[in-house]
Each structure stands twice: as structure tokens, then as C-alpha cells.
């Protein structure tokens, strides 16, 4: 499918950067060549954290939480020997700092 795109991916990124207003929050992943949209990143989290069902369960809702708190918590999970968790520390390793920041901002901006 990529072959059909008329401009190469570097120009696409520049194009994205030009459009990078608060409405276009794709972020760069360190590992992958192309950024993963924050909606795609956040969708993965919904497998356990979808609101409002998570309310009242041991799994916390993310929508509307403070961005700094969210970022700090995610970085704690990612740190070697960080916060004891059941599975968070196992899935969060692959996210870059930029992605975690984007996730924190994304969830903070959602209505709880």
C-alpha cells in the first residue's frame, strides 16, 4: 500500500509537522521509522482501561486524570525494579518517552 503514496515518508513527516497543531498529535516512536498515532497507542490501553467500566474495579480509569501524574506512573512502571504491578511493567517497556508523554496528554484531555 505504501507504494501508492506519492511522497516519501520523510516528506510525509514534514507534512505532518506542518499540520502539527493540537489537532494532529501523531508522535514519533524511537524504535519504529514512522510515528504511531496516539489514538492507536491509546486504543491498546483500552483493552483493560476503557472507561467507565473500569470504575470500581482494581484497574484504574485513565480519562481525565492529571497528565503529570499519569506520566509519572507510567515511567514508574517502565523503570527496572519500578512499581510492583501485575502486568503493566511487562507491556510498557516498548514505549518511548515521547509516546508516554503523548498518552498522558491524550488521556488527560479526555472527559472522565
Site for another protein, rule CB under 8 A: 1-2, 4-5, 9, 12, 16, 19, 23-26, 29, 31-41, 43-50, 53-54, 57-59, 86-87, 90-95, 106
Which residue, 25 or 65, has its beta carbon nearer to another protein?
A: 25
Find, among 46, 25, 45, the residue nearest to 36 by Cα: 25
Residue closer to another protein by CB (options 34, 69) is 34
Q: Which residues contact 100 (CB under 8 A, 6 or more apart)?
A: 71, 74, 75, 78
Task: Give the number of C-alpha atoms closer than 13 A to the C-alpha of residue 14, restricted to the C-beta side.
Answer: 5
Per the structure block, which three cell numbers stand in for 79? Answer: 523503570
Minimum distance of another protein from residue 61's CB (angstroms): 9
- Provide the minimum distance between the beta carbon of 101 and another protein in the complex, in angstroms, as a whole number: 15
Beta carbon of residue 70, minimum distance to another protein (angstroms, whole number): 17
3-state secondary structure of 27: strand
Amino acid at each position: 500500500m505504501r507504494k501508492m503514496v506519492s511522497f516519501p515518508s520523510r516528506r510525509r513527516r514534514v507534512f505532518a509537522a506542518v499540520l502539527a497543531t493540537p489537532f494532529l498529535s501523531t508522535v514519533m516512536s524511537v524504535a519504529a521509522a514512522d510515528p504511531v498515532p496516539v489514538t492507536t497507542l491509546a486504543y491498546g490501553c483500552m483493552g483493560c482501561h476503557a472507561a467507565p467500566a473500569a470504575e470500581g474495579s482494581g484497574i484504574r480509569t485513565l480519562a481525565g486524570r492529571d497528565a503529570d501524574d499519569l506520566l509519572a506512573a507510567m515511567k514508574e512502571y517502565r523503570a527496572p525494579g519500578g512499581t510492583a504491578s501485575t502486568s503493566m511493567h511487562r507491556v510498557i517497556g516498548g514505549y518511548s518517552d515521547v509516546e508516554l508523554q503523548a498518552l498522558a496528554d491524550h488521556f488527560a484531555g479526555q472527559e472522565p
